[in-house]
Amino acid sequence: MAGRPKKPLAIVRMEGNPGKRRLPTETEEIRPDLAIPECPEWLDEDAQTEWKRIAPDLLTLGLLSNLDMAALAGYCQAYSRWKEAEGKDQTDTAIKYLSQIKRSCSEFGLTPSARAKMSIPGKKDEDEMDELLNHGKQGVSG
C-alpha cells in the first residue's frame, strides 16, 4: 500500500482528530490486550536494558501489546547498535541506526513533537467539567 502508514488509533485519539474523519468505534477497533511482551533473550545487554526502560511507559500510554514484540525488539536492538557505533566513532553506521530508531520512534509516538500533540483521552473533558463545577461553586459562595 502506497503512502504514509496509518498511525495507531491510540495515538490518533491522544493527538486529536483534526481532519474530523470517522474513527472506528471501540467495538469496531482491533484492540489487542495491553501487555508488556516478554523481552527476547537474543537481544544484547544494551537492547534489553532499553526494553526494560521503555516498555512500562509504552504500556502506560496504552501503546503496547504482545503483538508488538518484534517492533519493540527492532527499536531496542537498533538503539543498542547505534550506541555501540557512536562509542566507536563509526559515523556512517551510527547514522544508519539512528534512522531506524527515528522510524521506530514515530511508530510508538516516542518523539518530543509526538508527545506534545498527545493528551489522555477524556482528560480534557474531565478538566473542563471540573473547572466549570469549581467556578460555579465560587460564584455561589462568593
Task: Render pLDDT for 5-18 as a digit per residue (tens, 0 to 9).
Answer: 666 677 777 777 77
CB 115 within 8 A of CB 109: yes
Q: Is residue 103 part of a domain?
A: yes
Q: Is residue 17 part of a domain?
A: no
Q: Is 82 left (phi over 0), alpha (psi -120 to 50) or beta?
A: alpha
Q: Is residue 123 part of a domain?
A: yes
| Number of structural domains the chain divides into | 1
Q: At what angle do helices 91-108 and 69-87 cross, to 10 degrees?
A: 150
Q: Is residue 1 part of a domain?
A: no
User: Which amino acid is it at 52?
Assistant: K
pTM for this structure? 0.65
CB 74 within 8 A of CB 100: yes
User: Beta-carbon neighbour count of residue 30 at 10 Å?
Assistant: 7
Q: Is residue 7 part of a domain?
A: no
Indicate the DSSP class of residue 4.
S
Which grid coordinates belong to 120?
489522555
Least confidently predicted of 60-64, 106-110, 123-127: 123-127
Q: Is residue 78 part of a domain?
A: yes
Its domain, for residue 66, covers 30-141
- pLDDT tens string 52-97: 999 999 999 888 999 999 999 999 999 999 999 999 999 999 999 9
Angle at 126 between CA 123 and CA 129, to 5 degrees: 150
